Amino acid sequence: MRRMIWLIAAATMGFASPGFAMGGAGGGSMGGYGGGMPMMSGSTDEYVMALRLIHHEKYADAIPHLNRALQQKPNSADILNYLGYTHRMVGDYQVSLDFYQQALARNPDHKGAHEYLGELYLKMHQLSQAQTQLAELTRLCPDGCDEKDVLTKAISDYQLAATAPAAPAASASAVPPASASEVPPATPASSAPAEQPAAQAPAPAQQ
């Protein structure tokens, strides 16, 4: 949170810091900023507004501002990275993938883009591709960095979820046998009139 506020304030002033990281948030939060990604110098108002909207998780609202910022700085890997991020957060994975690839084409060592791209590959169920991005971060961060830590945890969580046993289907509970008191009495047979004995033949008259 503090780093995001610092980022917005610094961007407002057009401040550039070679040691400050622009991106590295995992799973939609904006909390993991690790070293190595320089802030875009001469930041525009559109870019600053986009960062504020992203901070408040208004990803769709941030996209038009990022697009206008990109028109002013078409080679900015930072803006391209955040366009990839915002499109990923609204579920547009193919567009997100394209922006991440553009960001890395302009800056192959962009740690935030490698992390975000790895998270996108997990969303797309491409584990091996996510691990490739982690390998790139391992190369870029031999002593460790936030981006590497976040992606490592995301991959671990993904693998754990994939190997977790599926929850058993809810079986119908067996109905216990009814007690004797619960058994309804047998329905009595319809009472037919009792059969009458056959009438005896009259005794023959005596002669």
| Domain contains 194 | no
Q: What are the tens digits of pLDDT across the range 67-92?
A: 999 999 999 999 999 999 999 999 99
**Residue-level pLDDT at 63:** 98
Q: What is the pTM of this model?
A: 0.65
| Domain contains 181 | no
Q: Which domain holds residue 115?
A: 2-163
Q: Is the pLDDT of residue 11 over 80?
A: no
Q: What is the DSSP string of the chain?
A: -HHHHHHHHHHHTT---TT-------TT-S----TT-PPPTT--HHHHHHHHHHHTT-HHHHHHHHHHHHHHSTT-HHHHHHHHHHHHHTT-HHHHHHHHHHHHHH-TT-HHHHHHHHHHHHHTT-HHHHHHHHHHHHHH-TT--HHHHHHHHHHHHHHHHHHSPPPPPPPPPPPPPPPGGGSPPPPPPP-PPPPPPPPPPPPPPP-
- CATH number of the CATH domain containing 153: 1.25.40.10
- What does the pLDDT average to over 135-147? 96
Top pLDDT among 24 and 111 is at: 111
User: Number of folded domains in the chain?
Assistant: 1
| Domain contains 176 | no
pLDDT tier at 44, thresholds 50, 70, 90? confident
| Domain contains 83 | yes
- What does the pLDDT average to over 118-144? 97
pLDDT tier at 21, thresholds 50, 70, 90? very low
| Domain contains 170 | no
